[in-house]
Amino acid sequence: MGSYSRAGQHVAAFKALHHAQELRLDDRMCTYLSGDVRRQTGLFQDAIASFRSVLQVQPNGPGALTSLARTQVDLGLSLRASTGFMSRAQGSFVTFTPEVSFQYLDNNTSFHSFAWKIIADTTYCLSCASSFTD
């Protein structure tokens, strides 16, 4: 599954993940990997839903927390660049990303640099705005 997505064969990755989920409905790793493939293909809202589903079972899972925060930043960048919805982009940056990153920092003792990188990216993206809508 991972090799399909790394090779750029996202359709094959989706099929393999779907088949794996049919075999084991309670497997959160499939949900997580599915979210990761969705993030790679630009389906940010679906990826966020997948990561949130994983976090319902494991509220402080480090992989899901960092992936969710990174996907929020990617969503904000996508909204800002392609659609021009600045208020939605700012909402993605401000509302979710710092909250998730700080949750990661509070509950995990290692790899803090990932969370701080996401916070720095969010801060930089917000600093590029000439005005704020909220």
For residues 109-129, average pLDDT: 77
Mean pLDDT, the chain, integer: 75
What's the token pair of residue 43? 């389906």
For residues 41-55, average pLDDT: 88
For residues 21-42, average pLDDT: 76
Contacts of residue 6, defined as CB under 8 A and 6 or more positions apart, other chains included, come to none
The residue type at 82: S
Q: Using 50, 70 and 90 to split pLDDT, how confident is the model at 111?
A: confident
Q: Using 50, 70 and 90 to split pLDDT, how confident is the model at 2?
A: low
What is d(CA 20, CA 17) in angstroms, rounded to the nearest whole number?
5
Q: Write down all domains in the chain, each with its CATH number in brackets.
A: 2-127 (1.25.40.10)
The residue type at 112: H
pLDDT value of position 66? 83
For residues 53-68, average pLDDT: 84
Q: Are 64 and 51 in contact (CB under 8 A)?
A: yes
127 pLDDT higher than 70: yes
pLDDT value of position 14? 59
